[in-house]
């Protein structure tokens, strides 16, 4: 690797909320986060909804440790997305990211996410409309997959996003039809990079430092977006930078889990807290034997007090 790559934290609806962003950015190594998507239909999203999803907006669009957070919008109506992007900018958003990658059937049925990759002209119109609606110094970026059913429109889509005014394009190197099945085809990102002038960020299946090296080499990118790999190993970004000792070197997960668990108490009903913690443990257990043990203790437990005792009892 020549020089440290820029490292972005991926949006992950249902898991990577502001609590987990806070915990993971405290560990370090990340340059920017993208929020989980905010759905836009045919009206203005109330400010209180933006602020609930991205409370970092109250802190200059940064996490407590100072890492910028860029809100992400998902929708298909250029004018309505533009109005909502302008509202986000007025709230101090560091930038606006647009979701053209969500594979969920219900979202796609309502013309949101990856299904729009079949309509490059609409992609261009959406980005142009959003770009025109926010101040020049507020970057507009887009996140795409390789395509919806297949990759035949990959370069048309990437060029449409760049022509519309996207200042950065994140490419998750799979189609909607691929879902989350490995492999991620990093070499396809290199084609996108050659087709557009704007920075391209590589995403998909980076779980280790070695994956990061190979992804950077195959894609030719200078930036990576890390999703499940960083949630499974909060020290991954530092390790990719050659800093920190990495997991297995005695890193203690408990303070991180405790901070997340306590944070959830602030805005989650008790019955929803265990599910969130278990989702994180389910990824952490790929790397950490202690997380595996905790996950086995709580996997069948839904009661918050019992989960707390079983995970943190010895604290």
Ligand X SMILES: Cc1cc2nc3c(=O)[nH]c(=O)nc-3n(C[C@H](O)[C@H](O)[C@H](O)COP(=O)(O)O)c2cc1C
Which residues here bind ligand X, judged by CB under 6 A?
A: 10-15, 36-37, 72, 99, 101-102, 143, 172, 203-206, 226-229
Residue 76 CA neighbour count, 13 Å, CB half: 18
For ligand X, the closer of residues 169 and 308 by Cβ is 169
- Beta carbons of 191 and 185 less than 8 angstroms apart: no
For ligand X, the closer of residues 227 and 247 by Cβ is 227
For ligand X, the closer of residues 95 and 101 by Cβ is 101
DSSP 64-103: TTS-BEEEEEE-S-HHHHHHHHHHHHHTT-S-EEEEE---
CB of 178 to ligand X, least distance (A): 11
For ligand X, the closer of residues 80 and 225 by Cβ is 225
For ligand X, the closer of residues 69 and 206 by Cβ is 206
CB of 285 to ligand X, least distance (A): 16
CB of 99 to ligand X, least distance (A): 4
Dist CA 305 CA 314 (whole Å): 14
- What is the largest distance, in Å, between two alpha-carbon atoms of the chain? 57
For ligand X, the closer of residues 8 and 308 by Cβ is 8
Dist CA 284 CA 228 (whole Å): 9
CB atoms within 10 A of CB 49: 12
- Beta carbons of 128 and 165 less than 8 angstroms apart: yes
CB of 196 to ligand X, least distance (A): 19
CB of 206 to ligand X, least distance (A): 5
* Residue carrying the six token digits 């913690």: 277
Known catalytic residue at 102? yes
Label residue 54 exposed, middle or buried (CB < 10 Å: 0-12, 13-18, 19+).
Answer: buried
Local structure of 32: helix, strand or coil: strand
- Beta carbons of 30 and 8 less than 8 angstroms apart: yes
Catalytic residue among 80, 102, 157, 215: 102
For 133, the token pair is: 């609606």
Dist CA 116 CA 176 (whole Å): 11
Q: Give the nearest residue (CB) to ligand X.
A: 227
For ligand X, the closer of residues 225 and 304 by Cβ is 225
CB of 226 to ligand X, least distance (A): 5
Phi, psi torsion values for 138, nearest 5 degrees: -105, 110
CB of 12 to ligand X, least distance (A): 4
Dist CA 203 CA 285 (whole Å): 22
Q: Which positions are catalytic?
A: 102
């Amino acid at each position: 690797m020549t020089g440290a790559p820029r490292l972005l934290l991926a949006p992950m609806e249902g898991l990577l909320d502001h609590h987990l962003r806070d915990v993971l950015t405290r560990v370090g190594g990340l340059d920017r986060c993208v929020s989980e998507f905010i759905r836009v239909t045919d009206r203005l999203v109330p400010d209180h909804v933006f602020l609930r999803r991205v409370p970092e907006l109250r802190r200059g669009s940064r996490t407590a440790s100072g890492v910028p957070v860029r809100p992400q919008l998902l929708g298909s109506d250029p004018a309505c997305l533009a109005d909502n992007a302008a509202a986000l900018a007025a709230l101090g958003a560091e930038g606006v990211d647009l979701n053209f990658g969500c594979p969920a059937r219900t979202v796609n049925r309502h013309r949101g996410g990856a299904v729009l990759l079949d309509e490059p002209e609409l992609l261009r119109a959406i980005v142009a409309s959003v770009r025109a609606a926010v101040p020049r110094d507020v970057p507009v970026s887009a996140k795409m997959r390789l395509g919806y059913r297949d990759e035949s429109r990959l370069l048309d889509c990437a060029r449409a996003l760049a022509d519309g005014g996207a200042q950065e394009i994140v490419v998750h190197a799979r189609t909607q039809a691929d879902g989350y099945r490995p492999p991620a085809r990093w070499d396809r990102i290199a084609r996108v990079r050659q087709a557009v002038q704007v920075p391209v960020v590589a995403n998909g299946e980076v779980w280790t430092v070695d994956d990061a090296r190979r992804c950077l080499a195959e894609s030719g990118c200078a930036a990576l977006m890390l999703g499940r790999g960083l949630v499974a190993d909060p020290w991954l970004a530092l390790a990719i930078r050659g800093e920190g000792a990495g997991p297995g070197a005695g890193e203690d997960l408990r303070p991180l889990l405790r901070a997340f668990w306590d944070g959830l108490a602030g805005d989650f009903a008790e019955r929803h807290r265990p599910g969130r913690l278990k989702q994180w443990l389910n990824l952490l257990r790929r790397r950490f034997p202690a997380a595996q043990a905790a996950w086995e203790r709580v996997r069948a437990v839904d009661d918050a007090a019992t989960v707390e005792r079983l995970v943190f009892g010895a604290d």
